[in-house]
Amino acid sequence: MKKDIEIPIIKEVYIAVIHEWNDEFLSKDWNAYILNNRQDSIDMVLIVSKGYDGDKKTSTMRHAIGTIAPKSFEKIELLQEDVLSLNNEFFVTFYAENKLFEKRFILDQNSVNEGNLVTVPLIEKDGVFAK
């Protein structure tokens, strides 16, 4: 019975935290994004995010993104500086190819910083990818 269960592996979908200018608050903020680098759209995208480190925990946030077009991205949430000192988890589920996909993306504590920035494709801004 277990051998009949197929667990599809997510490819070409990423979580990245981008350091970008916020015109409203006149500051540079860290924003989490989901990127769909696939050739097809992904549907019913749900993301559950939380931060944790031992006894320290943040609230659990739930985001319903809906559909993300191929080769595009959507903003998930703003990450405050205090939260970046914790482990941050993004649990992503979506439908594609008539299958349910899911993956847990992790940003290790203190890994989101200026020293770890790389250029994020599709967005073309500096950021850090979750594992």
| Domain ranges within the chain, ordered by starting residue | 2-122
Categorize the per-residue pLDDT at 1 as very low, low, confident or very high, splitting at 50, 70 and 90.
Answer: low
What pLDDT digit, counting tens, does each position of 32-85 carry? 999 999 999 999 999 999 999 989 999 999 999 999 999 999 999 999 888 999
| Residue 21: per-residue pLDDT | 86
> What Rg value do the Cα atoms of the chain yield, rounded?
15
pTM of the model: 0.90
What pLDDT digit, counting tens, does each position of 13-34 carry? 999 999 988 888 778 889 999 9
CA angle (90 as vertex; 93, 109 as ends), nearest 5: 160
- Mapping DSSP to helix (H, G, I), strand (E, B) and coil, where does residue 4 land? helix
Strand order in the sheet with 118-120: 72-79, 27-36, 13-22, 125-129, 118-120
CATH classification number, 2-122, choose in 3.10.20.600, 1.10.3470.10, 3.20.20.370, 2.60.40.10: 2.60.40.10
